[in-house]
């Protein structure tokens, strides 16, 4: 809002998302801007923890490129932080970062709108001089980039210990960007970008390899448009109606309420993805391991960023799909199931670790005698799971496949199930198809499922179950009764 009032320039740059237009009435302001569909860097850090240097190097380079363009227009962003760094859904390919949220941006040389003695910004990312009332300066944004570098590479905010843990070629530059005095930081984003590229080259960062099965993935975070809608609105214009007597013009307050309500409904229709997870109380890990839990019959509805629990007696259906298809919660017959049992007496060779996952077994299954147990070897929370591929029956083009696993934890962690299509020689055909994250109720079995339509025939469909909330010595995921069925 401040950005709209303070300047009329739109920064056109491939790594910048700025308002394209706006409208206002009284205190209500509506901004329009591009839709970026891959989430943000804050969520990526929550999913993976500290990122590989090869991946972080690209993000920082693009961020500094964006700031170079912003600063060339005489604008200081003043709120550089992971949640304002949006991502395009590029899968395992080279990431594409978009700098967003100019809500507290300032134009150099313009009158300031902040009252004397009041500093705005995000704690941990605000440059020290701004807290002392200094006027806007591009080196404020350089400080934010330094903090972001530490978060990307270590998962931690800057400190002497964190800075010493960075790769030696990067240490001096990141320390300079995080300097308390702006005079000790690089003078501009362009200079910082040149120094960053040189430091990354000396550090020996490898190019991003999309074929690496453990590569960082940035997938689609926005649900498809509702049926009958395209990017420009309804696909079929409404039928004309006969003219009628003019209605009384609504009051200003009523017009404002209607416009806001309409915007909220449209936003909900474009961005909401719902997943239903049915709980199964037939066998509880906590009960078998000596813990006590209270069974309940609830259905958890997880929307984008929100979990709501409502009372329900439903125990027969669940919908966790990338194509809004409802599937049965009963396990597929053994002859139709393309996956090996994760709870077999011996861990099947087809089930291997994913990310930082450590795969073992525990005598606390949903059925049978064992369940797969997944823990993490990482010090920070990141993706830890198990992956497998069908032992037979390669894909048939245009066939829909339904994957499901029953998952449990003693903690309120999230679980995701995904399918990805590969050729027989392990070349990726499509980006992963993940389910939305299901927040597990401790001690209860939750069914997580996802649907995928094969693009080609003769390919493999690895199925992966994982959590982004496990770390070494804290938390475990239990998996049983997995299935992959066709049709």
Active site residues per annotation: 79
Instruction: Sheet with 275-280: list strands edge to edge.
Output: 306-311, 298-303, 275-280, 445-453, 400-408, 477-486, 371-376, 357-362
**DSSP string spanning 165-212?**
HS-HHHHHHHHHHT-SSGGGS-SSHHHHHHHHHHHHHHHTPPPP-TT-
* Three-class secondary structure of residue 460 per DSSP: strand
**DSSP string spanning 16-40?**
B---SEEEEETTEEEEE-----S-B
* b (16+ CB within 10 A) / e for 232-255: eeeeeeeeeeeeeeeeeeeeeeee
Residues pairing with 32 in the sheet: 21
| CA–CA gap between residue 97 and residue 53 (Å, rounded) | 16
| CA–CA gap between residue 223 and residue 323 (Å, rounded) | 9
Tell me the two tokens of residue 104: 């507290």
CB 303 within 8 A of CB 387: no
Closest alpha carbon to 458 in 485, 436, 487, 425: 425
Residues pairing with 6 in the sheet: none
| CA–CA gap between residue 454 and residue 419 (Å, rounded) | 10
The burial of 351, by beta-carbon neighbours within 10 Å (0-12 exposed, 13-18 middle, 19 or more buried), is given as buried
Cβ atoms within 10 Å of 379's Cβ, excluding its own? 13
| CA–CA gap between residue 95 and residue 433 (Å, rounded) | 18
Q: What angle do CA 173, 53, 15 make, to 5 degrees?
A: 80
Compute φ and ψ for 39, nearest 5 degrees.
80, -155
* b (16+ CB within 10 A) / e for 77-114: bbbbbbbbbbbbbbbbbebbbbbbbbbbbbbeeeeeee
* Strand blocks (E) in 238-325: 275-280, 298-303, 306-311, 317-318
Alpha helix segments (H runs only) across 189-288: 189-203, 252-271, 285-288
């Amino acid at each position: 809002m401040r950005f709209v009032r303070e300047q009329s320039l739109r920064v056109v740059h491939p790594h910048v998302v700025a308002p394209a237009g706006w409208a206002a009435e009284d205190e209500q302001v509506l901004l329009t801007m591009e839709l970026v569909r891959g989430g943000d860097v804050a969520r990526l850090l929550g999913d993976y923890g500290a990122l590989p240097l090869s991946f972080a190097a690209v993000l920082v380079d693009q961020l500094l490129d964006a700031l170079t363009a912003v600063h060339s227009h005489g604008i200081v962003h003043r709120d550089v932080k992971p949640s304002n760094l949006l991502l395009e859904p590029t899968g395992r390919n080279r990431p594409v970062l978009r700098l967003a949220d100019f809500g507290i941006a300032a134009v150099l040389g313009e009158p300031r709108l902040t009252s004397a003695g009041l500093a705005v910004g995000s704690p941990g990312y605000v440059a020290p001089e701004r807290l002392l009332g200094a006027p806007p300066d591009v080196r404020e944004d350089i400080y934010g980039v330094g903090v972001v570098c530490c978060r990307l590479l270590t998962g931690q905010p800057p400190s002497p210990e964190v800075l010493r843990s960075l790769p030696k070629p990067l240490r001096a530059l990141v320390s300079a960007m995080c300097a308390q005095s702006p005079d000790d930081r690089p003078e501009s984003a362009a200079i910082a970008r040149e120094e960053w590229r040189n430091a990354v080259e000396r550090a020996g960062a490898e190019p991003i390899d999309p074929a690496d099965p453990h590569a960082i993935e940035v997938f689609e975070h926005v649900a498809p448009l509702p049926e009958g809608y395209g990017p420009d609105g309804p696909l079929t214009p409404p039928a004309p109606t006969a003219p009628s007597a003019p209605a009384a013009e609504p009051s200003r307050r009523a017009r404002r309420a209607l416009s806001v309500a309409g915007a909220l409904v449209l936003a909900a229709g474009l961005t909401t993805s719902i997943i239903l997870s049915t709980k199964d109380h037939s066998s509880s890990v906590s009960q078998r391991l000596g813990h006590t839990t209270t069974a309940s019959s609830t259905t958890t509805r997880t929307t984008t960023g929100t979990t709501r629990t409502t009372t329900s007696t439903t125990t027969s259906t669940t919908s966790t799909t990338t194509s809004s298809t409802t599937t049965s919660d009963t396990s597929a017959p053994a002859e139709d199931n393309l996956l090996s049992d994760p709870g077999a007496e011996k861990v099947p060779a087809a089930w291997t670790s994913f990310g930082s996952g450590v795969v073992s077994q525990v005598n606390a299954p949903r059925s049978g005698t064992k369940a797969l147990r997944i823990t993490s070897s990482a010090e920070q929370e990141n993706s830890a799971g198990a992956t497998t591929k069908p032992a037979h029956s390669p894909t048939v083009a245009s066939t829909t496949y339904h994957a499901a696993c029953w998952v449990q934890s003693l903690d309120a962690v999230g679980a995701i199930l995904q399918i990805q299509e590969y050729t027989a020689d392990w070349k990726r055909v499509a980006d992963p198809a993940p389910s939305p994250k299901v927040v597990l109720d401790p001690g209860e079995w939750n069914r997580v499922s996802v649907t995928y339509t094969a693009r080609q025939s003769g390919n493999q469909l690895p199925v992966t179950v994982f959590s982004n909330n496990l770390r070494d010595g804290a938390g475990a995921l239990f998996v049983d009764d997995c299935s992959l069925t066709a049709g």
